């Protein structure tokens, strides 16, 4: 079994603790959190795990094979670096870092140490997302023209990151996985309503433009009356709605498209006609498998085999590069910004969906 320590026992950390403890391939041996109440809760529930106040003290636990960093993003780089330096494998929650140069350093250190570095892009381990990918790759949708997504909720309002850095890593990682490409240019705009003095955006709208002309638009917010986790993929033949919240209709495939009736060049308005085609709606029956459990199993498997994770360090780095460009665009009032991937040719290196 892979013996794991978890840094951070907050809201998401509790989900990680539960999945590490329940997984047959992993053993929860250590947890650290600076909050005394959080440590008390952990100690009461996970009696076999050693509980620490400081991350450095947990790293001294000789039983550890790996560490999961689920602390606030401002600590991700420092804690992941210390864990790699201590000879441990590391899974870092999204966003992997707050700066591209920090993410590049983690990739370099992990490569040099021969350690697994994995980004917590949880939805890359969702069987629902894998089904969407299958529909695209099979050609059922035709040529994908654009994608738009919404990731909204009322709360949880955070102070360590804005809504874009909190939510958009999911939409970026999912989109790039589905399209097998990374954006060339981005633009974004955000607004601060709750924390104006600190200029922390509660809502953001962003767009990613790809080299082949495809585009993706996103809306993220923690200031919305409903919880929404929806993505729409518009193809030349069919259209697909992926709704992570609607348990009865997670995926809906609409046999709809718009076709130009006459292909010859239109000389005037009456010559230009389109035909709306509306066919059946297909709702496949797919039971949701908790992505986080799959992610933890994949992490353990990669440690055992030495295989590259589906969301490896480079995948995490590329998402940070996109986020950094979006943040620059927001500062510039929504200006289009070229994504700087550090001079490398970027192609997703993702293993086949299972």
pTM higher than 0.85 for the full model?
Answer: yes
258 and 137 belong to one structural domain: yes
CA distance 210 to 299: 30
Assess contact for 3 and 36: CB atoms under 8 A.
no
132 and 263 belong to one structural domain: yes
- Number of structural domains in the chain: 2
Helix (H, G, I), strand (E, B) or coil at 195: strand
277 and 134 belong to one structural domain: yes
Asked whether residue 349 is assigned to any structural domain, the reply reads: no
Q: Which of 151, 175, 167 is nearest to 234 (CA)?
A: 175
303 and 203 belong to one structural domain: no
Asked whether residue 217 is assigned to any structural domain, the reply reads: yes
User: CATH number for the domain including 67?
Assistant: 3.40.50.720
111 and 131 belong to one structural domain: no
Burial code (b: 16+ CB inside 10 Å, e: under 16) for 43-66 equals eeebeebbbbeebeebbebeebbb
169 and 71 belong to one structural domain: no
Asked whether residue 344 is assigned to any structural domain, the reply reads: no
pLDDT in tens for each of the 354 residues of the chain?
999 999 999 999 999 999 999 999 999 999 999 999 999 999 999 999 999 999 999 999 999 999 999 999 999 999 999 999 999 999 999 999 999 999 999 999 999 999 999 999 999 999 999 999 999 999 999 999 999 999 999 999 999 999 999 999 999 999 999 999 999 999 999 999 999 999 999 999 999 999 999 999 999 999 999 999 999 999 999 999 999 999 999 999 999 887 655 555 656 655 556 667 777 899 999 988 999 999 999 999 999 999 999 999 999 999 999 999 999 999 999 999 999 998 654 444 444 433
Asked whether residue 104 is assigned to any structural domain, the reply reads: yes
CA distance 57 to 34: 11
Asked whether residue 183 is assigned to any structural domain, the reply reads: yes
- Beta carbons within 10 angstroms of residue 27's beta carbon: 17
CA distance 314 to 240: 29
Q: Going by C-beta distance under 8 Å and a sequence separation of 6 or more, which residues neighbour residue 72?
A: 8, 160, 161
Query: Domain containing 222: what range?
Result: 126-290+321-338
Q: Which of 115, 139, 121 is nearest to 303 (CA)?
A: 115
CA distance 63 to 42: 18
CA distance 75 to 73: 5
140 and 69 belong to one structural domain: no
CA distance 147 to 239: 10
302 and 329 belong to one structural domain: no
178 and 256 belong to one structural domain: yes
73 and 183 belong to one structural domain: no
Assess contact for 203 and 221: CB atoms under 8 A.
yes
Asked whether residue 343 is assigned to any structural domain, the reply reads: no
149 and 13 belong to one structural domain: no
Asked whether residue 163 is assigned to any structural domain, the reply reads: yes
CA distance 281 to 263: 28
Burial grade of 34 (CB within 10 A; 0-12, 13-18, 19 or more):
middle
149 and 269 belong to one structural domain: yes
Residue 182 to residues 101, 123, 349: CA-CA distances in angstroms?
A: 18, 17, 11
User: CATH number for the domain including 254?
Assistant: 3.30.360.10
């Amino acid at each position: 079994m892979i013996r794991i320590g978890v840094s951070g026992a907050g809201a998401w950390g509790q989900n990680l603790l539960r999945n590490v403890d329940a997984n047959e391939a992993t053993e929860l041996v250590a947890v650290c959190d600076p909050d005394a109440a959080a440590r008390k809760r952990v100690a009461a529930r996970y009696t076999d795990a050693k509980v620490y106040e400081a991350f450095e003290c947990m790293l001294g636990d000789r039983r550890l094979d790996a560490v999961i960093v689920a602390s606030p993003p401002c600590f991700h780089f420092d804690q992941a670096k210390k864990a790699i330096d201590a000879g441990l494998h590391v899974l870092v929650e999204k966003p992997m870092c707050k700066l591209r140069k920090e993410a590049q350093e983690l990739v370099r250190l992990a490569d040099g140490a021969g350690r697994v570095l994995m980004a917590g892009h949880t939805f890359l381990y969702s069987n629902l997302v894998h089904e969407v990918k299958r529909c695209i790759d099979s050609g059922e949708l035709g040529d994908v023209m654009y994608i738009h997504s919404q990731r909204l909720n009322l709360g949880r309002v955070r102070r360590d990151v804005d809504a874009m850095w909190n939510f958009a890593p999911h939409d970026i990682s999912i989109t790039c996985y589905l399209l097998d490409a990374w954006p060339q240019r981005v633009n974004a705009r955000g607004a601060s309503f709750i924390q104006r003095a600190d200029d922390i955006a509660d809502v953001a709208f962003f767009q990613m433009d790809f080299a082949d002309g495809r585009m993706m638009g996103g809306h993220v917010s923690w200031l919305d009356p409903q919880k929404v986790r929806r993505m729409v993929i518009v193809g030349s033949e069919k259209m697909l709605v992926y709704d992570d919240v609607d348990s009865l209709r997670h995926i809906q495939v609409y046999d709809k498209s718009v076709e130009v009736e006459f292909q010859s060049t239109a000389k005037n308005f009456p010559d230009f006609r389109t035909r709306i085609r509306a066919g059946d709606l297909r709702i496949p029956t797919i039971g949701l498998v908790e992505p986080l459990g799959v992610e933890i199993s994949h992490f353990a498997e990669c440690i055992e085999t030495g295989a590259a994770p589906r969301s490896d360090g480079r995948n995490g780095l590329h998402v940070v590069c996109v986020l950094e460009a979006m943040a620059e665009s927001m500062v510039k009032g929504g200006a289009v910004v070229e994504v700087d991937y550090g001079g490398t040719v970027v192609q997703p290196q993702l293993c086949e969906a299972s």
